[in-house]
């Protein structure tokens, strides 16, 4: 059997506290500090605990050169290598390890920068409920919020004294300024009012639609309403449609060149909000949006050009910001509201839409629809553009 090291793996030293009753009984505190080595591989979801022998052996294995396990004469060393093989940190040419090898080869073929690949793989969530986590945080201490976290950073870093600042002329009002003022993150949705087909289609086109394509020099690039590294636009829109006239509730993929929906699966109306809640990690104020949009990037589309590039992953992440801001403005133009959140269950979303995290990874979840009539959930609107009577007030029954 031939083996080699996986393409990308980082090892992090971690320190944890361990309690042992025997140490307490013998007169100590019972608490001991334990240093551990944790392997984070770009093709594996789980963090892996390594012993000292595994650490040393892993460092001797090449990610490119294959080694014949039958040629290892030292039985102890062979056992260590077999242990690393069982953990998936060594890749073999044997058929039994086919899935692990395929995932490792996907990482290799996608031209990831190693540290970016490990970061992306190991910061994804599954089954997180942010509301429950927030409530648990509140139960951990009865101290006020600011006492626990300390004072926040100042809103602006001031580099000179006020008298040395050079005042700039105020911008005149414009159509764009009016849209910006209406750009208020929505947490309250009018579920009794379906989104019209025209509003739905127009908002999608304004945000994600391709205005033009070019096949020069040998690769198709798109002109969209937003910038993207190399004009490659790797970020796709996957939709959970919940309340749109003429469109059955379900999962869709948006085709930006054809300006068309690709149906993936139907979703029963009674199951839709629960599915949306799963996508947005328990954030109940987003689950009733008429359209929920997963922003997922096909990394190889960008990394094909910017191979193993230190800035490539950062450039891809910028796409989510560009697209979400355009969605806010496109929605505001139609009198609609929008949201964006990075607190999402990426691993659940991958399962639902059939995505591979290292080939087409989730960056964020956005959405849009009609804003509700009442403020049941606090919305940040200091300009009073949407809620003249204050967006921080609860509806009085």
CA distances from 137 to 52, 133, 134, 153, 279 (A): 36, 6, 5, 21, 22
Could you tell me where in the chain the CATH 3.40.109.10 domains are found?
Answer: 176-369
DSSP-derived 3-state class of residue 205:
helix
**pLDDT 10s digit of each residue in the chain, 397 long?**
999 999 999 999 999 888 777 766 777 777 788 899 999 999 999 999 999 999 999 999 999 999 999 899 999 999 999 999 999 999 999 876 789 999 999 999 999 999 999 999 999 999 999 988 878 777 777 777 788 888 999 999 999 999 999 999 999 999 999 999 999 999 999 999 999 999 999 999 999 999 999 887 788 899 999 999 999 999 999 999 999 999 999 999 999 999 999 999 999 999 999 999 999 999 999 999 999 999 999 999 999 999 999 999 999 999 999 999 999 999 999 999 999 999 999 999 999 999 999 999 999 999 999 999 988 898 998 888 898 865 544 443 4
Q: What are phi and psi of 62, to 5 degrees?
A: -85, 145
With tokens 């149906």, the residue in question is 263
pTM: 0.90
Helix (H, G, I), strand (E, B) or coil at 64: coil
Number of H helices, E strands in the chain: 13, 14
Q: Return the pLDDT at 396.
A: 37
Specify which residues 11 forms β-bridges with. 39
Distance of alpha carbon 129 from alpha carbon 171, whole angstroms: 42
From the CA atom positions of the chain, what is the Rg in Å? 26
Q: What is the pLDDT of residue 24?
A: 67
* Dihedrals phi, psi of 363, to nearest 5 degrees: -105, -40
Contact 330, 202 (CB under 8 A): yes
What are the distances in angstroms from CA 227 to CA 206, 315, 321, 322?
Answer: 13, 10, 10, 7
Instruction: Indicate the angle between helix axes 197-208 and 312-333, nearest 10 degrees.
Output: 150
Q: State in words which class domain 176-369 has.
A: alpha beta
The two three-digit tokens of residue 264, written as one number: 């993936």
């Amino acid at each position: 059997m031939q083996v080699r090291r996986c393409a990308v793996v980082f090892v992090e030293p971690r320190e944890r506290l361990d309690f042992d009753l025997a140490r307490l009984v013998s007169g100590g505190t019972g608490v001991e500090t334990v240093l551990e080595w944790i392997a984070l591989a770009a093709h594996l979801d789980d963090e892996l605990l390594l012993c000292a022998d595994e650490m040393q052996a892993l460092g001797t294995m090449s990610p490119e050169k294959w080694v014949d396990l039958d040629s290892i004469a030292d039985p102890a060393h062979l056992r260590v290598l077999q242990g690393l093989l069982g953990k998936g940190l060594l890749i073999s040419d044997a058929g039994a390890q086919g899935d692990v090898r395929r995932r490792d080869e996907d990482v290799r073929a996608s031209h990831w920068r190693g540290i970016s690949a490990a970061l992306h793989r190991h910061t994804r969530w599954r089954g997180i409920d942010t509301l429950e986590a927030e409530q648990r945080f509140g139960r951990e201490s009865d101290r006020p919020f600011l006492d626990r976290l300390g004072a926040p950073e100042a809103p602006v870093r001031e580099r000179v004294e006020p008298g040395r600042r050079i005042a700039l002329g105020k911008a005149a009002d414009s159509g764009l300024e009016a849209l910006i003022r209406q750009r208020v993150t929505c947490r309250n949705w009018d579920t009794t009012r379906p989104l019209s087909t025209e509003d739905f289609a127009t908002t999608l086109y304004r945000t994600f639609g391709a205005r033009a394509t070019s096949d020069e020099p040998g690769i198709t690039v798109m002109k969209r309403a937003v910038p993207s590294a190399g004009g490659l636009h790797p970020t796709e829109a996957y939709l959970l449609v919940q309340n749109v006239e003429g469109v059955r509730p379900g999962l869709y993929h948006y085709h930006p060149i054809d300006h068309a929906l690709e149906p993936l699966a139907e979703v029963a109306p009674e199951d839709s909000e629960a599915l949306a809640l799963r996508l947005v990690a328990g954030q109940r104020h987003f689950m009733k949006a008429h359209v929920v949009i997963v922003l997922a990037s096909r990394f190889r589309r960008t990394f094909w050009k910017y191979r193993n590039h230190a800035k490539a992953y950062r450039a891809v992440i910028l796409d989510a910001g560009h697209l979400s801001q355009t969605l806010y403005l496109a929605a505001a133009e139609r009198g609609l509201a929008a949201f964006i959140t990075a607190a999402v269950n990426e691993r659940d979303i991958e399962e639902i839409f059939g995505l591979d995290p290292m080939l087409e990874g989730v960056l964020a979840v956005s959405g849009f629809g009609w804003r509700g009539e009442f403020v049941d959930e606090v919305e940040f609107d200091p300009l009073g553009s949407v809620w003249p009577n204050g967006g921080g007030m609860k509806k009085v029954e």
